[in-house]
């Protein structure tokens, strides 16, 4: 994996990340739930001639030791990350949950962003509907589904970790998320998803507890994962919508968000949900265009 390992001081510790180099405008890359900074490796390879891409491991993910103590902490950290980088008016790019993270950080005024690129990471429901959706991630049934699907929170020795990573690589050609991704990239992402514990075991991240914490935001909070959050964002937004992604069936709603302001745009791509890994060149092209427009 290329990219220099870096740390970002935040209020109660540090977060980990990857600095891919380059020069010019700062571009902060924010992964989704269950992923980590390595997912942006191939995207960054197309960006370094145009800007300076840096990816962060959110709380509870990758090499970041910190866990979330509140539902908002993971996206509020982004203000500290940008401050640590010394950037003015960066472009914020978020995939999946990271899409909401960059939106919330901009909406709350934590980052004076030049533009947002939201990659299949939308919030389209009103608050009441969103609260019901969030509730599905609470309780033992949700925990068991996540353990079964992704082995979140699993603790494994070196041999078990290696076997699981290679299993994911072998399945990546037909996997519903990774089909189309470069196998070595899948390997890098999965390796980074394990954090070495003091007892020598690796812990598959995020844990079930991390997901439960971030999935219980206060529905009365000013910034909440519902469609009204976009009314608080003043900078341009580009929504990247894959035709086989999580929101493909709600295209009309996404188009309505884009049409709500002249500085918003909908870009459609032929891809599954995992756009940064399966369509890195197309993802980078959208980001480069935002950098070029940056005032």
- The structural domains of the chain, ordered by start, are 4-139+219-293 (3.40.50.1820)
pLDDT at position 176: 87
Looking up tokens 């472009």 gives 91
Region 252-258 average pLDDT: 98
Contacts with 186 (C-beta within 8 Å, 6 or more apart), sequence order: 168, 169, 172, 178, 277
CB-based contact 62:16 (threshold 8 Å): yes
Query: Sorting pLDDT into bands at 50, 70 and 90, what band is 1?
Result: low
Pick from 80, 128, 72: nearest CA to 101: 72
Contacts with 263 (C-beta within 8 Å, 6 or more apart), sequence order: 235, 236, 237
What residues does 15 pair with on adjacent strands?
8
CB-based contact 51:288 (threshold 8 Å): yes
**DSSP secondary structure string for all residues of 256-293:** HHHHTSTTEEEEEEEEES-HHHHSHHHHHHHHHHHHHH
* Range scoring the smallest mean pLDDT among 124-133, 179-188, 224-233: 124-133
Per-residue DSSP letter, 124: -
295/10: higher pLDDT = 10
Q: What is the pLDDT of residues 102-126, one digit of tens each?
A: 999 999 999 999 999 999 999 999 9
pLDDT at position 295: 78
Q: What is the pLDDT of residues 196-248, one digit of tens each?
A: 999 999 999 999 999 999 999 999 999 999 999 999 999 999 999 999 999 99
* Pairing outcome for strands 264-272 and 202-204: unpaired
User: What count of other Cβ atoms lies within 10 Å of the Cβ of residue 264?
Assistant: 19
Region 19-36 average pLDDT: 97
Pick from 59, 277, 47, 67: nearest CA to 175: 277
- pTM: predicted TM-score of the whole model, two decimal places: 0.97
Pick from 106, 77, 150, 132: nearest CA to 263: 106
**DSSP secondary structure string for all residues of 104-122:** HHHHTTSS--SEEEEES--
pLDDT at position 160: 97
pLDDT at position 135: 75
Region 27-32 average pLDDT: 98
pLDDT at position 7: 98
Burial degree of 11 (CB within 10 A; 0-12, 13-18, 19+) = exposed
Quote the tokens at residue 124.
């389209």
């Amino acid at each position: 994996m290329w990219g220099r390992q870096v740390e970002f001081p935040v209020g109660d510790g540090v977060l980990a990340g990857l600095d891919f180099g380059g020069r010019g405008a700062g571009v902060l890359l924010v992964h989704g739930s269950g992923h980590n900074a390595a997912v942006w490796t191939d995207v960054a390879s197309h960006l370094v001639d145009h800007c300076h891409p840096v990816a962060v491991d959110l709380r509870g993910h990758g090499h970041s030791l910190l866990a979330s103590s509140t539902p908002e902490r993971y996206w509020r950290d982004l203000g500290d990350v940008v401050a640590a980088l010394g950037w003015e008016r960066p472009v914020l790019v978020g995939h999946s949950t990271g899409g909401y993270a960059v939106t919330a950080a901009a909406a709350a005024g934590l980052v004076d962003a030049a533009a947002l690129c939201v990659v299949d990471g939308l919030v389209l429901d009103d608050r009441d509907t969103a609260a019901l959706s969030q509730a599905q991630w609470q309780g033992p049934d949700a925990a068991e589904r996540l353990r079964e699907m992704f082995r979140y929170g699993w603790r494994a020795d070196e041999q078990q970790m290696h076997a699981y990573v290679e299993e994911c690589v072998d399945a990546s050609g037909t996997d519903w998320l990774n089909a189309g991704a470069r196998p070595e990239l899948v390997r890098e992402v999965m390796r980074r998803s394990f954090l070495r514990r003091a007892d020598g075991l690796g812990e598959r991240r995020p844990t079930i507890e991390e997901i439960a914490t971030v999935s219980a935001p206060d529905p009365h909070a000013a910034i909440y994962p519902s469609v009204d959050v976009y009314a608080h964002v003043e900078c341009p937004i580009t929504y990247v919508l894959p035709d086989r992604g999580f929101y493909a069936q709600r295209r009309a709603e996404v188009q309505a968000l884009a049409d709500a302001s002249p500085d918003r745009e909908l870009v459609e791509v032929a891809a599954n949900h995992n756009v940064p890994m399966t369509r890195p060149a197309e993802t980078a092209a959208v980001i480069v265009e935002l950098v070029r427009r940056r005032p």
